[in-house]
Amino acid sequence: MQRNNWATLFKALSSFIILYLLYRNLDLSSKSFIDTWNQIELGWLLIVLPIVVLVLGLKSFRWRSIILSDGYLYPWKSSFVAYLAAYSIGVVTPGRVGEFLKVYSLRREVQDLGTLQAFQTVLVDRLFDMCFLGWFGFSGLLYFLKPFGKLSAGNALLVSLIFVVLGLFLANYILAWVTRNYFRENKLLLFSKDCLNRMTGTGNIHTWIYTALAYAIYFASIHFLMLSLNILIPFIETCFIISLIGLILLLPISVAGFGTREAGLVYLFSLYNLSAETAISFSLLQFATFFVWGGLIGLFFYNLNPISFNELKTDVMKIFRK
């Protein structure tokens, strides 16, 4: 069996075990599930559906701004189609195939752009996401776990922002010093240093603004989803919860986050005396709106300009040969 198949099997088994343990250790009630779904307020849910596309559109605009900063022209329509198509493929395929789809789409339209440089624009785009998830996720850890004592939500955000900013600049300084004095020819370190330079430079302030706007709208949509289930959690704390779940989902131990997402939400919602049924119902609703609905929209755009996966695999291999 190929390595990818083993990894997929492991993730499926892991998801099953986590969900089974949740079922065995929680006193779940089918009546509570039914009552929770019966009280969904469709008005809030309908607001969220177009917001999913809006958030992806803003992120595609951010990616395009990174490409333009390299001096390459890439139409907004092309970046939008590629971004949504990649999102769809990323939902239904293991690994990060969707990210490579963006590389291939960009390379196909901007032919004088090298494969490695195209990959770098995609990686930098993802690093902006990681910084915001890290900022709000770390804030959530400080707020909920209280390792340094009780902090208000605002103070938790401020402290974690200082850590994230210092971490970025410190990592950039260390990489610059190491590559200048010891590993001047190490391509991986030079590549990493260039990525961080693009994030810490003053020329990318607009990219941070696009990211902040996209996440503000994304967090608002999550808050609306909670309101659709009559979950009354303060907005900033909603941001903390969903960011912590986002960080948990980075762990490559489940299929599409099943199991890990539910376990995390059950714990975090219990801090507000919300039932496990409510947590799991919200998890399913979030999956349906952002993954299923977003994936279907992305699939529509993918079918407008489908790409051969054999060609995609060939282009991906070029990255690792360099």
Tell me the pLDDT tens digit for each residue of 106-164.
888 887 888 888 888 888 999 999 999 999 999 999 999 888 888 899 999 999 999 99
Domain boundaries defined on the chain = 35-129+205-321
The Cα 86–Cα 142 span in angstroms is: 34
Structure tokens at 227: 């309101």
Structure tokens at 180: 């200048």
Q: Which residues contact 217 (CB under 8 A, 6 or more apart)?
A: 51, 54, 55, 58
Cβ atoms within 10 A of the Cβ of 97, count?
16
Residue 1 has pLDDT above 50, yes or no: no
The Cα 19–Cα 52 span in angstroms is: 27
Instruction: Compute the average pLDDT of residues 69-95.
Output: 81
Residue 239 has pLDDT above 90, yes or no: yes
Q: What is the pLDDT of residue 160?
A: 94
Tell me which amino acid residue 260 is. Answer: T
Residue 3 has pLDDT above 80, yes or no: no
- Check if the beta carbon of residue 116 is closer than 8 Å to that of residue 322: yes
Residue 313 has pLDDT above 70, yes or no: no
- Highest mean pLDDT: which of 67-71, 218-222, 291-295, 311-315? 218-222
The Cα 142–Cα 158 span in angstroms is: 11
Residue 282 has pLDDT above 70, yes or no: yes
- Check if the beta carbon of residue 90 is closer than 8 Å to that of residue 97: yes
